[in-house]
Structure 1
Amino acid sequence: MRKWLYRLLIELTNHSLSSKLLASFAKSRFSAWLIPSYAKIYHINQEEMEKSLKNYKTLQQLFVRRLKAGARPVDDDECTVVSPVDAVIEEMGIIRENSEIIVKGKPYSIAEMLGSAEAAQPYVNGFFFILYLSPSHYHRIHSPISGMIERQWTLGRKSYPVNRLGLKYGKRPLEKNYRLITEVKAGGKRMAIVKIGAMFVNSIELTHTGEQLVKGEEMAYFSFGSTVVLLFERGSFAPDPRIAAPMPIKVGERLGYWR
């Protein structure tokens, strides 16, 4: 009953019209009066922001804010993989033989997530992370490793919530939501950075140009809170023993080691 009610409410509100209205409001000067209360409710750390709060003229500008130089030091060991986002590690683990991952007790297919069984095959028996960004988080996405972009593609149209309720009761949001996938190769191994749109606002904006990525370099941003899924090719990655789920993590902090 609870699952049915949750899905019904989402279907009634997750409309192209409501999405456009919300996006338009967030980008308008009328949204500015919400900025002080938004910053207070979500405990935005104003000390690390590039600008003072009064310099953001719309909610959209605050959502996509940059940070002061040095606010997110990047682990400089060349063998490490770092978090691409400020987030909560919601789940982590091994990708199963049938190309499934288990998130909140629910199976998700990475073949569906990536668009085909062929795209998923290198990641079978590899490792995954689910990194959830709330509205309070810094929304810019940075590269977790240095490497070459092999391929980049988009899938999906509508977006459902990717918070804990969404993952538990939603219509398989990690597989179905609008998503932008970047596949990166380094040292003969690959990883996929899956950027998943949140409810209402599908906007994922690329800021990186070219084929070369440098660890810690900005590559994109979300216009609202969302989720990043990291998929590692089998044999390419070993998690740091201190990492567990759930736990908070910031851009540049070590997730594990590239083999």
Structure 2
Amino acid sequence: MQKWLYRLLIELTNHRFSSLILKKFSQSRASAILIPAYAKIYSIDQVEMEKKLTEFKTLHELFVRKIKKEHRVIDKNESSVISPVDAVVEETGIVMSSKEIIVKNKRYSIAEMLGDEESLSKYIGGIFLILYLSPSHYHRIHSPISGEITKQWELGSKSYPVNRLGLKYGREPLSKNFRKVTEIHTDGGHLAMVKVGAMFVNSIETTHTSKYITKGEEIAYFSFGSTVILLFEKDCFTLKSTIKTSYDVRVGEVIGYKME
């Protein structure tokens, strides 16, 4: 009953029209009245922000705020892989031979998630990592490694929630929501970064457009809380032992290492 009710409420509100209204409002001057309450409710760290709270003209500006570089130190070890976002680790595991991953006891098709059979094959047997960004998090996305961007594509149109309830009761939001995929090649192999749109606001803005990217460099941002999925090519990455479910990570923090 709970699952049915949850899905009904989401289907009733998850439409392009309602998404457009929310997006328009968040980008309007009228939304500024909510900024102090939003900052308080979500315990936004104002010390690390580049701008003062009073300088944001819209709620959207606060969503996509930048922070001072000294508050996110990028690990310089050449073999390290860093967290691309401030987030909570929702799940880690291995991509199964059935081309699926298990998240919150549900199976998700990696073939559907990527929508690219050619790219998919290299990730079978590799490690995956699910990183959830809540509305309180810093929403800019950085590159976890240095390398060459070999491919970028987008797919999907839905915008179901990607929080714990969404993962538990939703209709496979990780593989059906609007998403942008960036594949990066480095000397240790390939990595696919799947940026998944959240409920109502599907906006994932790409900010890096050149062929090569440096570890820690900004690559995109979310307009609201969402999820990043990292897929690592088989036998090219080891996960740091401290990176477990419900662990809080920050941009620049080491999450694992490339294998020699």
Settle same-fold status: TM greater than 0.5.
yes
1:95 aligns with 2:95: yes
Aligned to 1:4: 4
For residues 133-212 of structure 1, what are the structure 2 equivalents within 5 Å?
133-187=133-187, 189-212=189-212
Aligned partners of 1:111 and 1:119 also within 8 Å = no
Q: Distance in 2 between matches of 1:9 and 1:100?
A: 28
Aligned partners of 2:145 and 2:214 also within 8 Å = yes
1:21 aligns with 2:16: no
Aligned partners of 2:108 and 2:175 also within 8 Å = yes
Aligned to 1:42: 42
Q: Deviations over 1:129-187 (max 9, x none)?
A: 00000000000000000000000000001210000000111010001000000000011
Q: Distance in 2 between matches of 1:188 and 1:217?
A: 19
Q: Distance in 2 between matches of 1:39 and 1:188?
A: 40
Please give the TM-score of this superposition, normalised by the length of structure 2.
0.98
Q: Distance in 2 between matches of 1:88 and 1:121?
A: 27
Query: Relative to structure 2, which stretch is displaced further, 7-16 or 181-190?
Result: 181-190
* CA deviation after TM superposition for structure 1 residue 72, in Å: 0.2
* CA deviation after TM superposition for structure 1 residue 43, in Å: 0.2
Q: Distance in 2 between matches of 1:139 and 1:162?
A: 15
Q: Deviations over 1:15-59 (max 9, x none)?
A: 110000000000000000100000000000000000000000100
3-state DSSP class of the match of 2:157?
coil
Supply the AA of the counterpart residue of 2:110. Answer: I
Aligned partners of 1:147 and 1:212 also within 8 Å = yes
Large movers: runs of 4+ above 6 Å: none
1:233 aligns with 2:233: yes
Q: Distance in 2 between matches of 1:242 and 1:132?
A: 17
* CA deviation after TM superposition for structure 1 residue 190, in Å: 0.4
Q: Distance in 2 between matches of 1:116 and 1:210?
A: 22
Aligned partners of 2:135 and 2:225 also within 8 Å = yes
* CA deviation after TM superposition for structure 1 residue 188, in Å: 5.7
Aligned partners of 1:204 and 1:223 also within 8 Å = yes
* CA deviation after TM superposition for structure 1 residue 116, in Å: 3.4
Q: Percent identity?
A: 62
Aligned to 2:216: 216
3-state DSSP class of the match of 1:73?
coil
Q: Distance in 2 between matches of 1:101 and 1:46?
A: 37
Structure 2: 5+ residue stretches without partners: none
* CA deviation after TM superposition for structure 1 residue 209, in Å: 1.8
Q: Distance in 2 between matches of 1:116 and 1:214?
A: 25
1:257 aligns with 2:257: yes
Please give the TM-score of this superposition, normalised by the length of structure 1.
0.99
Structure 1: 5+ residue stretches without partners: none
Q: CA RMSD in A?
A: 0.8
How many residues in Structure 1 have an aligned counterpart in Structure 2?
259
Aligned partners of 2:188 and 2:258 also within 8 Å = no
Q: Distance in 1 between matches of 2:40 and 2:55?
A: 16
1:105 aligns with 2:105: yes
